[in-house]
Structure 1
Amino acid sequence: MTADATKPASFEALAIDTLPARLGHLEALAGRVGPDALAWKVREVGDGNLNLVFIVEGPKGAVVVKQALPYVRLVGESWPLPLKRSFFEYHALTRQQARAPGAVPQVLHFDEAQALIVMEYLSPHVILRKALIDGRELPRVAQDLGLFLARTLFRGSDLAMPARARKADLALFADNVELCDITENLVFTDPYFEAELNRHTPRLSPLVAELRADRDLKVEAQRLKHLFAANAETLLHGDLHTGSVMVTEQETRVIDPEFAFYGPMAFDVGMLIANFWMSFFSQAGHEENGPRDAMRAYLLRVAAGTWATFRAEFRRLWRTERTGMLYAGSLFENRGDPLGAEQALDAVLHSLWQDMLGFAGVEIHRRILGLAHNADFETIGDEALRARCEAPALRFGRHLVVNRHRIQGMEEVNGLALLIEKETRA
């Protein structure tokens, strides 16, 4: 990875026609793409909410150039956003690579002043969300993502890191204030009242009114927000969903950690698994070429498998890498009491399970009722059909948030999803 010693003094957004001239001198590009910038082919592929993303191709290969903009791209310049989010993304990627090698794209160059990162071009990878909409059953997703979650969350916490190093890292990422503010409002608060930027499928309005009048739901959503804001357990990806994962049949990579900050371990887990449940509920809207019953079963297996892999790897790391300040071996194993450490592990995992369910529920709600929707539902053109897919997902999400302390296991959750979905189709 290189740093740019000749960067311009002030920020300037890249464009297809200006990128070769501005970045042609960088060895990170020349070495991967080709030394003649005039021979580069540049195309913009950024369809996200925040950033510019370009693929740069040449005779030697290709790279991705990602540049932050000083505003929320989805909304426009009326919503300013600091360029420093690329700084946090860069530092998150380097830590994720160290903690889960091979799970994220390689960073080739970072320019803080221009808020841009040059990284490995993943090909023939596709976005996981698109693959699921297309009905593809990827064989490695549950295992790869469960391992990524366990390794990054455990190894970035006081369970594994030296206390001084973790506190220094916490101080660095604590400055990612504006993106945390987006999450705190758009995920935990705005969906539950008539916020200005909210939107939903019009046919859902009676159910939306019911949810926004649900006192138990709103109290629990705010308890989860309290946990999100106050429990700085580990370095999170912060925006882990199926649009932040790229896949092939053989490989899974996680991208876009610009929302990274220190928060509760269960947040990343719940946000990701919620996206598998949303994909499950969306399947009726993607049956143009035939029934999707096999895909529904696959998605429930992925949700269960991701959690099972996370839990198993977390247990392994607890037993082999628990060298931080929490649950010290000097209190348990070193005193001939390994069962004490196992009791503590069970308690930690039980808490993670309950919190994961709650975070999954609010993620489902915000993706249907808030500002940033997902393509699983949005690509269903028939409004009535879309509403028939979204309504059971909303009810399912409400159950997770309000009843998470009484839900015993993944079989119960997936069984409820099946029941609600079948009732809707009946």
Structure 2
Amino acid sequence: MTTTAVNSYKALTDDSAIALARTLDFFPEGAKLESQEIGDGNLNYVFRITDSESGKGLIIKQALPYAKVVGESWPLTLKRATIEANALRKHGEFVPGLVPVVYATDANLALTVMEDLSHLTIAREGLIRGEAYPNLSKDIGEYLAKTLFQTSDFALHPFEKKRLAAEFSNPELCKITEDLVFTDPFFDFETNDFEPELRAEVEAIWNNGPLKLEAAKLKKSFLTDAEALLHGDLHTGSIFASDTETKVIDSEFAFYGPIGFDVGLFLANLIAQAVTREGEKREVVLHHIEQTWNVFSSNFSELWEQQGIEAFKDTAGYKEFVLEKIFQDAIGFAGCELIRRTIGLAHVKDLDSIEELERRIALKKQVLQTGEALILKRKELPSIAAVVALVEEQSR
């Protein structure tokens, strides 16, 4: 499928989205189409176009030239739409069942036309309601292992890997992550957002020299370790799920970075969810945390043995060294994400939707303490089981 050439960018409306959908070889001629704007993010419009008779649908996602959360004073590159579509296609080569199908793109309009996933639920929303999603961690562990290994030096000729790294250069969106995850929460910056009741804990972070040193080291890794093609923003709000399906979406932050970053972001968002649960419901999420890493490391090891091209692949201890680095990076990145999601610009509904102030503040303090501990102890924690134990200890 191809879209009609457009000379300049123009934001879509329901009517123009329908008109565009009619130019695609997707719906029957004369179909009665309906449009619904379903986007709730800060960076895009998302339209669901459906045939009112058959129910068949597709999604048109259009990048905005600014961040909706701030307004036109925060301009954003439209190139991210092309990066997102290309990342979905590249990752789809390795995990076709875990990402949506891309039908068409238009760089001028900064849009991507893709598979309709409206029969699924955003994982964050379902988890908040107490859903278990039995396949979630298995599927994401596989997604992480296959997309990250197959786009790394362990699987690619260096010329191809460097070509992809250049193709997915994404400085504008990386800068957002650099600031909001690794810098702003650790300083008294105006982008930070937190309740007055957290002021003492926040100022303690700002004045914690050892913590800030470790955060600086993690930021350096994010800036310089171009190891694999990352999703770049892999949280539970970027995943559609059901009891039987999992689909990863929203890869506009994709770039070449440290393998542990994607792993860490996903683990952090599970940890935030686990903190809000009790009893058996907490155990479900803690199991997802442990299983994500175990499935990732198992799949990564299998790919290493079967498809690895690195000359030192069979050198005793090298695979273990690589996995240890990924694990330690992931735990540190998870800690930064937990702090950012609690006191930075973009929070998570898992915590902010808790109406009772006293309980919300108590849980946010737990999340901050857990984040600090993960950053500071990331080289001391020997296993994912130890991470789970730390999360449980901080929640007592």
Q: Does 1:348 align with 2:343?
A: no
Match of 1:84 among 79, 82, 89: 79
Instruction: Give the corresponding residue for 1:337.
Output: none
Instruction: Give the corresponding residue for 2:2.
Output: 3
Q: Does 1:296 align with 2:282?
A: yes
> Structure 1, residues 115-170: CA drift from partner, whole Å, max 9, x if none?
00110001421000011000011110111000000000000001001111111111
Distance 2:386 2:337 in 1: 19
Instruction: Give the corresponding residue for 2:218.
Output: 224
Q: Is the 8 A contact 1:107 1:120 kept in 2?
A: yes
Q: 1:35 Cα deviation (Å)?
A: 2.6
Read off the aligned partner of 1:72 and give its amino acid letter: A
After superposition, where does 1:4-403 map in structure 2 within 5 Å? 4=3, 6-27=4-25, 31=26, 33-36=27-30, 39-58=32-51, 59-60=53-54, 61-174=56-169, 176-283=170-277, 292-323=278-309, 326-328=310-312, 332=314, 340=315, 342-403=316-377
Q: Is the 8 A contact 1:188 1:362 kept in 2?
A: yes
Instruction: Give the corresponding residue for 1:289.
Output: none
Distance 2:21 2:126 in 1: 32
> Structure 1, residues 259-297: CA drift from partner, whole Å, max 9, x if none?
0000000000001011110001123xxxxxxxx311111
TM-score, normalising length from structure 1?
Answer: 0.90
Q: Is the 8 A contact 2:226 2:258 kept in 1?
A: yes
Distance 2:91 2:368 in 1: 32
Distance 2:247 2:363 in 1: 28
> Structure 1, residues 215-268: CA drift from partner, whole Å, max 9, x if none?
111111110000000010010000000001100111111000000000000000
TM-score, normalising length from structure 2?
Answer: 0.97
Moved over 4 A (4+): none
Q: Does 1:417 align with 2:388?
A: no
Percent identity between the two aligned chains: 40
Distance 2:289 2:191 in 1: 30
Q: Is the 8 A contact 2:17 2:47 kept in 1?
A: no
Q: Is the 8 A contact 1:282 1:390 kept in 2?
A: no
* Count of residues paired in the alignment: 394
> Structure 1, residues 56-113: CA drift from partner, whole Å, max 9, x if none?
1103400111000100111111100011100100110010000212110000110111
Structure 1: any 5+ residue segments left out of the alignment? 284-291, 333-339
Distance 1:327 1:379 in 2: 50
Q: Is the 8 A contact 1:190 1:370 kept in 2?
A: yes
Distance 2:47 2:20 in 1: 14
What root-mean-square deviation, in Å, do the aligned CA atoms of Structure 1 and Structure 2 show? 1.2
Q: Is the 8 A contact 1:203 1:384 kept in 2?
A: no
Read off the aligned partner of 1:315 and give its amino acid letter: S
Evaluate the alpha carbon distance shift between residue 420 and residue 110 of structure 1 in structure 2; reply closer, same or farther with a 3 A threshold: same
- Three-state SS of the structure 2 residue aligned to 1:21 is helix
- Three-state SS of the structure 2 residue aligned to 1:56 is strand
Instruction: Give the corresponding residue for 1:287.
Output: none
